[in-house]
Copies of this chain bind each other. A is one copy, B any other.
Amino acid sequence: MSERAYTYHVDGALVPADEATVSVRDRGFMYGDGAFETLRAYGGDVFEWDAHAARLRRTCETLSIDHGVPDREFRERIDATLAANDLADAYVKLSVTRGVQPGTLAPDPAVDPTVVVYVAALPRGGVAGEAAWDAPAVVRTAATRRAPAAALPPEAKTHSYLAGVLARLDGRRAAAAAGTDPPDEVLVRDVDGFLAEGSTSNVFWVRDGVLHTPGAGHPLLPGVTRSVVLDLARDAGVPVETGSYGVDDVRRADEAFLTNTTWELRPIASVDGDAVGGGPVTDRLAGRFDALVERRHY
């Protein structure tokens, strides 16, 4: 992310990023008690807005954050922030927290939410675009496991994101032990040892022409890009299998890639030092993704 001086949108006002603050009593700060979405704008327009808005609604429902802000108001704030920064191709993050409330941990049903829009420049996407990443992802397996659904609803995207931080720290530690740079991403398993997802991505791989990804029965955040890629695979006649897998399935795959809103499709260079790489199916799906973005946004 560049070091340009951006303007953010905080609680209804545009403010320089360096002066964009929240109260230390904001529950998003004190308890990770908030929802967020990572979005991407192509040609000035947010990609898959409806899917992101729907997930934000679901996260706020899971957290009982009855914020009363209509989706179109969020969208208008994002659009205003993009315009204020003169950005057409951008990374966008939208946060909605339970705000400041009296008392301590027990949430009050009356919510005056804190709403923050962050932006940063990203390369143009689509057929004529370049990737937001430099190279295929070097990946390591995290020791930290994904919490079961009974403990933390996996489909909720919240400010309590420490498990992802701990998983990244695992990756840094494993890389240091192997004498290499920190990985670009880590693979996270559930407590039963099944592969769930990356710390900020979903994981796909190809074996004998079949596209695989962990099923939503495992504790994972089913990403918007994951869903788009599954649709593109079906359209392209690529057989898809979802289910229960281990990290070794990725390690031994013919090709593998990660998906998230920022990376789109990013090939996996290696898992714990074992080379994997992209391939024809990855390229084909990435090409279809680019075409979709081109068609919709440019």
Contact A152 B161, beta carbon cutoff 8 Å = no
**Distance (Å) between the CB of A24 and the closest chain B CB?**
5
Pick the contact of A1 from B104, B109, B165 — CB < 8 Å?
Answer: B104
List of B residues within 8 angstroms of A22 by Cβ: 21-22, 24, 29
List of B residues within 8 angstroms of A191 by Cβ: 148, 150-151, 191
Q: Count contacts on A: residues with CB < 8 A to the other chain.
A: 60
**Distance (Å) between the CB of A246 and the closest chain B CB?**
16
Contact A152 B163, beta carbon cutoff 8 Å = yes
Known: A32-B161, A146-B151. 6 other contacts (CB 8 A): A1-B102, A20-B23, A105-B164, A105-B200, A147-B148, A151-B191
Check A296 for interface membership: any CB of B closer than 8 A. Answer: no
Q: Which of A11-45 touch B at CB < 8 Å? A: 17-18, 20-33, 36
Annotate A173-214 by CB proximity to B: 1 below 8 A, 0 otherwise: 000000000100000000100000001100000000000000
Contact A29 B31, beta carbon cutoff 8 Å = no
List of B residues within 8 angstroms of A251 by Cβ: none
Contact B166 A63, beta carbon cutoff 8 Å = yes
**With A145-B151, A168-B107 in contact, is A24–B31 under 8 Å at CB?**
no
A162 to B144, CA, bound (A): 18
List of B residues within 8 angstroms of A25 by Cβ: 17, 20, 118
List of B residues within 8 angstroms of A3 by Cβ: 102
Contact B24 A20, beta carbon cutoff 8 Å = yes
A163 to B162, CA, bound (A): 12
Pick the contact of A32 from B17, B18, B159 — CB < 8 Å?
Answer: B159
Q: Which of A67-122 touch B at CB < 8 Å? A: 95, 102-107, 109, 116, 118
**Distance (Å) between the CB of A133 and the closest chain B CB?**
12
**With A150-B144, A151-B145, A166-B63 in contact, is A29–B159 under 8 Å at CB?**
yes
A31 to B158, CA, bound (A): 8
List of B residues within 8 angstroms of A18 by Cβ: 23
Annotate A111-138 by CB proximity to B: 1 below 8 A, 0 otherwise: 0000010100000000000000000000
* Most B C-beta atoms less than 10 A away, residue of A107, A165, A191: A165
